[in-house]
Structure 1
């Protein structure tokens, strides 16, 4: 070592470093530095060529066209603008549950990530944490052109990363479609239940109105029937009283006629002529605007009328109103309005203000929307087979190895320089001390005599 490395002479103080001498020392170690750098470079090259290559693929999603979601939005059930659809798909791609579900359903694609002794979830966690990355646009940018979702994946050799990434995108889109279909089914069922509830309320209102109407009609008939019966009872009392009064009048008239000797019907003028003598026969025409007293009817006629009145059992026939009352009572025996109301079979057609509800219910039941044909997002770029690996970067690794080796070689040369410099200083110090000790021994006898 000493034959190949010579410490240059030191002429500076201990606190100073001779940079030129240091450079010379490093230069003298150039072979060693080159060897060390070459060794590091070879190790780096070995790692670069032995390490498993890693590849990178990506897929870009953008908002779908407005016409793709027009059928869904025009259903008036589910509103989903293109930006919201892209956000839903992005949230699904970022969802742990979505990725785990895809991992479980396609285990043959993830065999490289499974390790013995690990559960399925643990193997998935390694893949989810290190391989998949979701990139979103800057939220501060309002430009719609910047709306996109980028899904990228790094995977080792032997893994079909293109199939995994494209499959994950398709799986997330199908999941969102199924979720939308489930949401629409629930919404339609809820709306149908709401409409059915409104129809039930309308039916209940109709039933209440119908029962109230029947009750009103029945009550009105009962009141009218009672009034008619009261009226006919009053009329019969009136007719009986009138008949009794007539009999009393006839009794008085009979008494007067007997006292006057009037047996046959007569008039005041004829009664006066009868009292005169002479038998000449005369025909008279008498016009009188006054009512002739009843006793002029004569005893015979009055007695006959009185006998009939006393034998009468009912006075109903003498009053036309009684017949009219019986007619009305007969009509009240059956209320045709109530009969028609009770005989209705399809009462739904009589419900009011329910046509819009029925139309909406029919529209919802006949809603034929194929969710599987709805395009939630536009796949702007599919994941394609990469042209080459992104890791390891061989030239960069080799260059870094050579650079690191060179730095280590220079550091080693500098360290060796300082060690050699320290050894040279120690030797010089020891030489000076030995020379001082030798001179002291030669001068010691003369100094003693002088002192004596």
Structure 2
């Protein structure tokens, strides 16, 4: 048997000997323990010396339906509970609202104001780092999704509870004031609109009334003119008739005088006078002819002509003249126009304004004082935290312990592999007795 040692290339690591690794780590246990202790001390120092921050939160949920019932029943401003919660959430997230609260409560924010910084710069840091609004996700179950959570992180020495609760109350008040202002503007605009409609109805009534009065007076003037024309025509007619009668009487008087008829007579009587007989005879004459006027005798005819010549007016001879006089007298005063002009309260005669007046009365009776309006329900107010939010001491110490242990093990392994590398080199001597026979 040849016992000459043979050189064989050393295989870097066909297998990892876990026992050898553990043994190597154990040999370097001082490094492991030292790194672990060092990292743990650093973690403990950070946990106890780092600035302590606390976190508080407040949760808002929709108000009960009955809280907003009076507002919604006004039929002027509709605000469902979910919309009210959304409005308050928008107010909580509003930069202007946060800045307004910051300015209104300088005593609460003294710790945030640094020397050399303006109020807006100090607020910007607070707004960016300290306060956060959490809204429900889109996939959250519906009845439980209606909430708004406001979180605030603040260092030790600041009254975060007072800040958060105060800001929530401030935002709710701001939104309540905004709702009250909106309601007041809407009601005033509606009242102005209704007033405009009533004024338009009043103007329309005045125009209609004036037009009606003008038509009535015009109709009276036309009727009066027609009656006066008729009266003038009648008087002219009666005068012509009188002149004709006078001419007729003058002619009849002339005939009667020529015949010697002084007293009224008849043709038959005239025939008896002309015969001269002594016997008395009764005659009956039936004729449809008109007896000539001169048979009235000259005396009667002259008396009638004298009366006609002395007549100053013929109005009494025609009944229509009296009727025209009556109608003209009635036209002197139009009672309908007089009643229209003497109306005391003309608003009662306006058309289609009763619903408008009822709406005005309803709007004026609305309670637009929103100081007691409950927009949301504060499901949870901010409370004093029982522990710090950061740093979390147990977690920091645990993580530092774990990091130190891992760092120590890593250093031990590195040192172990360095030692192995130095001892073995790239080739190692192998005893032939350990090689299998060929």
TM-score bracket for the superposition, by shorter chain length: 0.7 to 0.9
Aligned positions of 1:223-262 closer than 5 A: 223-262=222-261
CA gap 1:332/1:378 in 2 versus in 1, 3 angstroms? same
**Displacement of 1:25 after TM fit?**
3.2
8 Å CA contact retained: 1:43, 1:401: yes
**1:448 matched to which residue of 2?**
none
CA gap 1:106/1:17 in 2 versus in 1, 3 angstroms? farther
**2:434 matched to which residue of 1?**
none
**Does 2:69 match 1:70?**
yes
State the SS of the aligned residue for 1:373.
Answer: coil
**Does 2:161 match 1:162?**
yes
- How far does the alpha carbon of each residue in 1:331-379 deviate from its partner, in whole angstroms, 9 at most, with x for none? 2222222222223332212111111111111111122243122211111
**2:194 matched to which residue of 1?**
195
Aligned positions of 1:278-317 closer than 5 A: 291-317=290-316
For the aligned residue pairs, the C-alpha RMSD in angstroms reads 2.8
State the SS of the aligned residue for 2:44.
Answer: helix
**1:3 matched to which residue of 2?**
none
**1:13 matched to which residue of 2?**
10
Unaligned runs of 5+ in 1: 1-9, 430-452
Q: TM-score, normalised by structure 1?
A: 0.85
**Displacement of 1:99 after TM fit?**
1.4
**Displacement of 1:68 after TM fit?**
0.9
Q: Distance in 2 between matches of 1:19 and 1:112?
A: 59
State the SS of the aligned residue for 1:115.
Answer: coil
8 Å CA contact retained: 2:99, 2:123: yes
Unaligned runs of 5+ in 2: 1-6, 428-438
**1:348 matched to which residue of 2?**
347
**2:104 matched to which residue of 1?**
105
Q: Distance in 2 between matches of 1:349 and 1:226?
A: 36
CA gap 1:329/1:114 in 2 versus in 1, 3 angstroms? same
**1:177 matched to which residue of 2?**
176
**Displacement of 1:11 after TM fit?**
8.8
**Displacement of 1:173 after TM fit?**
1.0
8 Å CA contact retained: 1:26, 1:410: yes
CA gap 1:140/1:422 in 2 versus in 1, 3 angstroms? closer
8 Å CA contact retained: 1:53, 1:392: yes
**Displacement of 1:140 after TM fit?**
3.2
8 Å CA contact retained: 1:12, 1:18: no
**1:388 matched to which residue of 2?**
387
* Aligned residues between the structures: 420
State the SS of the aligned residue for 1:371.
Answer: coil
**1:222 matched to which residue of 2?**
221
Q: Distance in 2 between matches of 1:33 and 1:192?
A: 84
**Displacement of 1:216 after TM fit?**
0.5
Aligned positions of 1:363-378 closer than 5 A: 363-378=362-377
CA gap 1:64/1:420 in 2 versus in 1, 3 angstroms? same
Q: Distance in 2 between matches of 1:224 and 1:355?
A: 38
Q: Distance in 2 between matches of 1:196 and 1:129?
A: 50
State the SS of the aligned residue for 2:114.
Answer: coil
Q: Distance in 1 between matches of 2:35 and 2:23?
A: 18
Q: Distance in 1 between matches of 2:416 and 2:141?
A: 63
8 Å CA contact retained: 1:71, 1:369: no
**Displacement of 1:289 after TM fit?**
7.5
Q: Which moved more, 1:15-24 or 1:40-49?
A: 15-24
**Displacement of 1:203 after TM fit?**
0.9
Q: Distance in 1 between matches of 2:265 and 2:139?
A: 128
**1:38 matched to which residue of 2?**
37
8 Å CA contact retained: 2:59, 2:147: yes
**1:437 matched to which residue of 2?**
none
- How far does the alpha carbon of each residue in 1:24-65 deviate from its partner, in whole angstroms, 9 at most, with x for none? 433211112211210111111111111222222221111111
Q: Distance in 2 between matches of 1:147 and 1:303?
A: 121
**2:414 matched to which residue of 1?**
415
Q: TM-score, normalised by structure 2?
A: 0.88
**2:94 matched to which residue of 1?**
95
8 Å CA contact retained: 1:203, 1:351: yes
**Displacement of 1:13 after TM fit?**
2.5
Q: Distance in 2 between matches of 1:241 and 1:134?
A: 110
Q: Distance in 2 between matches of 1:82 and 1:321?
A: 84
**1:4 matched to which residue of 2?**
none
